[in-house]
């Protein structure tokens, strides 16, 4: 079957690539576009390791048909830094030792950034709600929650 050209923006830059028939957005981003920050954890929308934003809202890229992002704005963890400057969330994750194996980290950061963009001063419960679709097997979540709250309370960036 023929591949389908898909035009979209990735972290603000216009991109085009060919999507295979039935290819999901996760596989498309990793194999065809070369953005390796979304990770495969389950392929069933249950772990959150592949979390990206589409037009600013979080989505599980393993459940999104690649062809369907034509003309839309995709955001991944690769887009978090501002040039060479890391996002405060990335700094906070390092400072709070919120990453162990690091596999859930990009998806977790995308969810956390989406939360803070929509709600700059979330409560602890709101942080928990925002990351409850992102599974982590290493940390027990507490350092992740602490890192996100630290950024929310410090608000280095709006």
How far apart are alpha carbons 118 and 158 in whole angstroms? 10
CB closer to other proteins, 71 vs 81: 81
Find the shortest distance in angstroms from Cβ 69 to other proteins: 19
Closest distance of CB 49 from other proteins, Å: 6
Query: Nearer to other proteins by C-beta: 18 or 97?
Result: 97
Q: Are 80 and 89 in contact (CB under 8 A)?
A: yes
Distances 103 to 8, 43, 57, 70 between C-alpha atoms, Å: 26, 14, 21, 28
- Quote the tokens at residue 98: 């919120």
CA distance 154 to 12: 26
Q: Which residues bind other proteins (CB under 8 A)?
A: 20, 22, 30-31, 34, 36-44, 46-47, 49, 76-78, 80-81, 86, 90-91, 93-97, 99-106, 109, 124-125, 127-129, 131-132, 135-146, 149
Smallest separation, CB 73 to other proteins (Å): 18
Indicate the residue among 47 and 69 with the shorter CB distance to other proteins.
Answer: 47
The residue (of 137 and 155) whose beta carbon lies closer to other proteins is 137
The distance of closest approach from Cβ of residue 56 to other proteins in the complex, given in angstroms and rounded to an integer, is 19
């Amino acid at each position: 079957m023929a591949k389908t050209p898909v035009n979209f923006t990735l972290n603000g830059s216009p991109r085009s690539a060919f999507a295979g028939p039935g290819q999901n957005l996760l596989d498309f981003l990793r194999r065809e576009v070369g953005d390796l920050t979304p990770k495969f954890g389950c392929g069933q929308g249950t772990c959150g390791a592949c979390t990206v934003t589409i037009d600013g809202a979080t989505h599980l890229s393993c459940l999104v048909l690649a062809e369907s992002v034509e003309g839309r704005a995709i955001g991944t963890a690769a887009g978090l830094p501002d040039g060479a400057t890391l996002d405060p969330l990335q700094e906070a994750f390092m400072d709070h030792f919120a990453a162990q194996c690091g596999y859930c980290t990009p998806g977790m950061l995308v969810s956390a950034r989406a939360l803070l963009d929509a709600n700059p001063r979330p409560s602890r419960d709101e942080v928990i709600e925002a990351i409850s679709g992102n599974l982590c097997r290493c940390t027990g979540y507490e350092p992740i929650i602490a890192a996100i709250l630290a950024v929310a309370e410090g608000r280095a960036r709006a």
